[in-house]
A = this chain, B = another copy of it.
Amino acid sequence: MNKFVLPEHPHCPHDHSQCVSDALSAAEQVCERAGARLTALRKRVLELVWQSHRPLGAYDLLETLAREDDRRPAPPTVYRALDFLQEQGLVHRIASLNAFIGCASPEHTHQGHFLICRNCRVAIELDQSLIHPAIAKVADQMDFSVEAETVEIAGLCSQCREAA
């Protein structure tokens, strides 16, 4: 991995290879603690998911894997790795896009809440403390016990809005 690659999207310029390596070492730790095995395949899928801050479809990942390893893996290979990564809290699924994105802070398990730009397709993970309280309050009022929160806000990020 090249250290000073250009970020894969024009916004929020940053050393993206740092994101990737941070994510990978965080993942090592998380799995270590959980007694789970971060195998080569799972690690590679996580790395691919992190190649940008955009949600990626399972079949996109398959394509990439196929290109680098001449024997094309079948869908279950990628889905199983994604299932594992989701269980460990390392990846979130974006239901409204049928796509997957790396979790920004896998240390403590949490729900993913996202702002998703329809133009540049970047997904920004929100701090859970921002929206969860409102949800918890409603759920409490309705005597509903929350198990999973899907919060996906689509629109335009500031850069894309300015550009338009």
Tell me how far the C-beta of A47 lies from the nearest C-beta in chain B, rounded to whole angstroms: 27
Q: Mark A135-151, 1 if CB is under 8 A from B, else 0.
A: 10111001111111111
Specify how many copies of this chain sit in the oligomer: 2
Chain B residues within an 8 Å CB radius of A145: 155-156, 161
In the complex with contacts A95-B96, A142-B115, A154-B161 CB distance below 8 A? no
From B133, B147, B153, B161, A135 is in contact (CB under 8 Å) with: B153
- How many chain A residues sit at the interface, stated as a range, is 20 to 34
Q: Mark A150-164, 1 if CB is under 8 A from B, else 0.
A: 111111111001000
From B144, B150, B156, A147 is in contact (CB under 8 Å) with: B156
A118's nearest neighbour on chain B, judged by CB, is: B147
A144's nearest neighbour on chain B, judged by CB, is: B115
Chain B residues within an 8 Å CB radius of A149: 152-154
| Contact in complex: A148, B154 (CB < 8 Å) | yes
Other than the known A131-B131, A142-B157, what 6 A-B pairs have Cβ atoms closer than 8 Å? A96-B150, A144-B155, A146-B153, A147-B155, A147-B156, A150-B152
**Complex A-B: 26 CB contacts under 8 Å:** A95-B95, A96-B150, A115-B138, A115-B142, A118-B147, A124-B144, A130-B134, A130-B137, A131-B131, A131-B135, A133-B134, A135-B151, A139-B155, A142-B157, A144-B153, A144-B155, A145-B155, A145-B156, A146-B153, A146-B155, A147-B156, A148-B155, A149-B152, A149-B154, A150-B152, A150-B153
